[in-house]
Amino acid sequence: MDFTAEIEKLRREKNAVILAHYYTFPEVQEIADFVGDSLALSQKAAATDADIILFAGVHFMAETAKILNPDKKVLIPDLAAGCSLADSCNGDDLKKFLKNYPDHIVLSYINCSAKVKTLSDVIVTSGNALKIVNALPKEQKIVFAPDKNLGRYINDMTGRNMVLWDGVCFVHNAFTAVQVADAKKAHPTAEVIAHPECPATVLAFADFTGSTAAMLKHVAASNKKEFIVITENGILHELKKQNPDKQFWVINTAENCACSECSYMKLNTLEKIYLALKNEEPELILDTDTIEAARKPIVKMLEMSK
Ligand code: 13P
Ligand code: SF4
């Protein structure tokens, strides 16, 4: 079956929009109406007039789209597309943890469950975290969940002392300083670009640190010709597309292993997207109370990102 043609037909018939993250397979990014980082995808979800949103990303991204569009149908090609960061912070455990910090506000990375969002004051993404934290009063006490690497990076860049929840992304946390040092030795003129979900020892080597969209913007504007890319490998598709004259080196975190791939993002296939559009399932369902409570910190983020 020609899944691309069938998806095209269904998308028109049903007035559906397909949103995809840069970490999905190239063919998924190619059929999407919009590909972006977590911030741009949430902004796109907030603005769409489609009747159906099909989210080729992971569960928390589809949840965010649903929270912003409670009356629309949100489809996710595979309900098992979770996120190790979101899984590292259970809502009930966070609630208990927060009892120790009654005078702190809660800042949560968008890579968290809807339940965690209901406990948060403001959501951030890697694309707007520094801007949002810098806009908060200097004396404001903050708990940051769930990514300790991103939290530490924000603390370093802003001089804050946020209390950090102990969560990590299994893809980004697997990169090591030794691997980056070896890659630099092999490609001495290459610039190192890294995602802030990486450990501090890895970010210490980075010439540029930013979200997926920020990395793409940086490379497009750079006059360097070679880059060592320290994030999930799916970003290579857009990097190569936008910069055919530049060369990209990746780090596989173990031999014969695609460890720098997010197995959750890779659950999105053309066949599953076709089936989800055809059958209008799996559908992302959330109860009204959760939607109401989780929307507030997301709307705050969207306002503070302008
Ligand atoms: P960004 O695309 O917002 O940088 O996020 C990376 C990520 O890990 C998404 O899950
Ligand atoms: Fe979650 Fe990491 Fe996969 Fe992003 S790359 S979806 S943070 S597990």
Q: Ligand 1 pocket test: which of 19, 38, 208 has the largest number of ligand atoms within 8 Å of its C-beta?
A: 38
CA distance 163 to 167: 12
CA distance 256 to 249: 16
Contact 74, 283 (CB under 8 A): yes
84 lines ligand 2 (CB under 6 A): yes
User: Minimum-distance ligand to the CA of 81?
Assistant: 2
Q: Ligand 1 pocket test: which of 59, 63, 211 has the largest number of ligand atoms within 8 Å of its C-beta?
A: 211
Ligand 1: centre distance to CA 57 (Å): 10
Q: Which pLDDT score is estimated for 194?
A: 98
Q: Which pLDDT score is estimated for 255?
A: 64
Q: Which pLDDT score is estimated for 256?
A: 61
Q: Which pLDDT score is estimated for 258?
A: 58
Ligand 2: centre distance to CA 83 (Å): 5
83 lines ligand 2 (CB under 6 A): yes
Q: Count CA atoms closer than 13 A to 227's CA, side-chain side.
A: 28
Looking at ligand 1, which atom is closest to the CA of residue 37?
A: 2
Q: What is the pTM of this model?
A: 0.96
Ligand 1: centre distance to CA 303 (Å): 20
* Amino acid making up residue 78: D
Q: Count CA atoms closer than 13 A to 63's CA, side-chain side.
A: 27
85 lines ligand 2 (CB under 6 A): yes
Q: Which pLDDT score is estimated for 254?
A: 63
62 lines ligand 2 (CB under 6 A): no
Ligand 1: centre distance to CA 16 (Å): 23
267 lines ligand 2 (CB under 6 A): no
- pLDDT per residue of the chain (306 residues) written in tens, 0 to 9: 899 999 999 999 999 999 999 999 999 999 999 999 999 999 999 999 999 999 999 999 999 999 999 999 999 999 999 999 999 999 999 999 999 999 999 999 999 999 999 999 999 999 999 999 999 999 999 999 999 999 999 999 999 999 999 999 999 999 999 999 999 999 999 999 999 999 999 999 999 999 999 999 999 999 999 999 999 999 999 999 999 999 999 997 666 665 689 999 999 999 999 999 999 999 999 999 999 999 999 999 999 998
CA nearest neighbour of 260 among 171, 142, 144: 171
Q: Which pLDDT score is estimated for 139?
A: 96
As a whole number, the mean pLDDT across the chain is 96
215 lines ligand 2 (CB under 6 A): no
User: Minimum-distance ligand to the CA of 125?
Assistant: 1
SS3 content of the chain, % helix, strand, coil (to 5): 45, 15, 40
CA distance 231 to 212: 8
Q: Which pLDDT score is estimated for 252?
A: 75
125 lines ligand 1 (CB under 6 A): yes
Question: Which domains, ranges and CATH numbers included, belong to the chain?
Answer: 3-81+265-288 (3.40.50.10800), 85-169 (3.40.50.10800), 171-250 (3.40.50.10800)
User: Minimum-distance ligand to the CA of 37?
Assistant: 1
